Structure 1
Amino acid sequence: MSRVTVTLNGRDFTIGCEAGQEAYLRELAGTLDTRVSDVSGQVGQIGDLRLLLMASLILVDDLKESDSRIEALESQVQRLTHENHGASSLHAEARGRLAGQLGRLAERMEAIAGAIETEDPGECDADSPAQDDAYAEAGA
């Protein structure tokens, strides 16, 4: 176990911590010292215990606000994920309908092409029965 000396409100404190956590503990203590200094600047030196209590309450308030924001964001992510799955289903359904329509259109085009190929070249009349049948099959 390592020992780290941190400074809060101008006073040094030695604290034990796990090996490798010394820098992180100093960072945490620095954040707390900044809050204590802010509170001290607003209300004056009202005693270490009260300054630490007020700074701790401010930090807990910040933590609760962050937790609320995280909860709201997680809820939003869940809603958007659900909406995305719904949109994906709609897109898949639309792709299926489009593929079916393209298949039917291809069949109609093949029917028209077949009718044109079997038609007598001398009968290029726009009113020919074969063309009428081909157009009817194509839905034109």
Structure 2
Amino acid sequence: MAQLNVSIAGKIYRMACADGEEDHLAGLAAEFDRRVSDMQQAFGQIGDLRLHVMAALTVLDELQEVRKRLSEHDAEMRAVRSALAGGDQRIADAEGQAAAALIRVSERIESLARDLNPMSVSGGAVAATPAFAVTPPGD
């Protein structure tokens, strides 16, 4: 276990941490020292213990606010995922409906084609009588 000295409000504290965490702990101590110093500038000399408690409470207040926002963002993400999943299902349903409609249209076209020309659709010979006739002018 590693040990290092940190300075908070001008006092040295010997701290222990896991090996490799020294820089992280030093950074945390420096941030806390800054907060205590800010409290001291705002409220004057009201005692080290009181300054430390006030600084700790402000840190906890910020932490609580961050947790609240994180929880709200998590809820928003769940809602977005749910909406996307619902959208995927609606797309799949629409694709199924479109495919069914295409099949119905195709069947109707085939039925109309059979009704218009039963011989050509069934594979037989083309009808001998044309559906219309062109007559030259004056006849």
TM-score relative to the length of structure 2: 0.79
Task: Provide the residue aligned with 2:71 in structure 1.
Answer: 71
Shift in CA distance, 121/17, structure 1 to aligned 2, threshold 3 Å: farther
Larger RCO, structure (CA 8 Å, separation 6 or more): 1
Secondary structure in 2 matching 1:124: coil
Mapped to 1, the partners of 2:102 and 2:128 lie a distance apart of: 29
- Quick one: which amino acid aligns to residue 89 of structure 2? S
The structure-2 alpha-carbon separation of the partners of 1:120 and 1:25, relative to structure 1 and needing over 3 Å to count, comes to same
Instruction: Give structure 1 stretches of 5+ with no counterpart.
Output: 126-140
Q: Which position in structure 2 is the counterpart of 1:94?
A: 94
- Aligned residue number for residue 45 of structure 2: 45
Query: Which residue matches 2:135?
Result: none
Aligned partners of 1:52, 1:69: CA distance in 2, in Å?
Answer: 26
Moved more, 113-122 or 98-107: 113-122
Q: How many residues align?
A: 125
Look at both structures and tell me which one has the larger radius of gyration over its CA atoms: 2
- Give me the TM-score of the superposition, normalised by structure 1: 0.79
Q: Structure 2: 5+ residue runs without aligned partners?
A: 133-139
SS of residue in 2 equivalent to 1:19: coil
Q: Percent identity?
A: 32
